[in-house]
Structure 1
Amino acid sequence: MREPRNCYHVLGLSPPVTAEQIRSSYVRLIKQHHPDRIRPGASPLRLQQLQHAYHTLRDDGRRADHDQALLEHAQAHRADMRRARRRISRLEHPRRPDVKGPGSSWQRPLIAASAGGLLLLILRVVLTP
């Protein structure tokens, strides 16, 4: 999931903000990044980002949609992190042997490690003069 652009950060704000704070931040930044004030050949991307952020945050409906998208992204990110921590925990702490029978998932890393060790031993014997 791609992170939605945070319009608050584009304008240098953090919620909750008032309409006056949004407007004053927009005016201040638009003056800094106006095409007449920046060097020739500069990218108009920052100006477009500012205009989009202001357009989004000045309308209450669009701002509510934006806030909801940020919230949903944060919740999805937290869920992904929980899943990743569980996976790492399972790798670091495999199940006990008495929980499952032979050939179970806890034995696979041991089998792979012993097979890799055996392969290294064979290569050492073969390649040693």
Structure 2
Amino acid sequence: MRQRSFYQVLGIAPSASSAEVRAAYARLVKRHHPDIAGELPERLRTIQQAYRCLSDPAARAEHDRALAEEEHRHMARQFALQRRLRGYDRRHPHAPPRRDRRWGWRPALATAIGLALAVRLSIGLFGG
């Protein structure tokens, strides 16, 4: 399961300035403080951890790098899954018809029988 990024915890965009980070932190601390909200110390700890990380430029750069790596790994897994499922989709009964499909033995047999009947009928009609 993917963890929420600190940007999601604070509810800001990854391109947010330090002033926006500080404003989001202040808004969330006011809302989730134990004196006001009751018993949410875990949520408050997560908010404080997110603020500590995003307010420090070096830690924020490291967090951004980790998010980019996680996104890259996620996309690679999704691509591999799609590649594996592509074979299933071709065999699935509701798959769209493939244009490059080669003739199987049934259509070839039906075509051969049809041609044989057409030849036999034409020989019978036009003298033979």
Please point out which of 65, 84, 93 is paired with 2:90.
Answer: 93
Please point out which of 50, 66, 70 is paired with 1:53.
Answer: 50
Which position in structure 1 is the counterpart of 2:5? 6
1:87-126 alignment, distance < 5 Å: 87-93=84-90
Which position in structure 2 is the counterpart of 1:31? 30
Which position in structure 1 is the counterpart of 2:18? 19
Kindly provide the CA deviation profile for residues 27-47 of structure 1, in whole angstroms up to 9, marking residues without a partner as x.
Answer: 1110111111013xx231110
For structure 1, list consecutive stretches of 5 or more residues without a partner in the other structure: 98-129
RMSD of the alignment, in Å? 1.7
**Alpha-carbon distance in 2 for matches of 1:93, 1:22:** 49
Please point out which of 57, 72, 77 is paired with 1:80.
Answer: 77
**Alpha-carbon distance in 1 for matches of 2:31, 2:8:** 16
Higher helix residue share: 2
Q: Give 1:4 deviation, angstroms.
A: 4.2
**Alpha-carbon distance in 2 for matches of 1:12, 1:85:** 31
The amino acid of 1:53's aligned partner reads A
For structure 2, list consecutive stretches of 5 or more residues without a partner in the other structure: 92-100, 103-128
TM-score, normalised to structure 1's length?
A: 0.66
**Alpha-carbon distance in 2 for matches of 1:3, 1:72:** 12
The amino acid of 2:66's aligned partner reads A
**Alpha-carbon distance in 1 for matches of 2:89, 2:50:** 44
Kindly provide the CA deviation profile for residues 54-102 of structure 1, in whole angstroms up to 9, marking residues without a partner as x.
Answer: 00000000000000111111111111111111101112226x89xxxxx
Structure ranking higher on relative contact order (CA contacts 8 Å, 6+ apart): 1
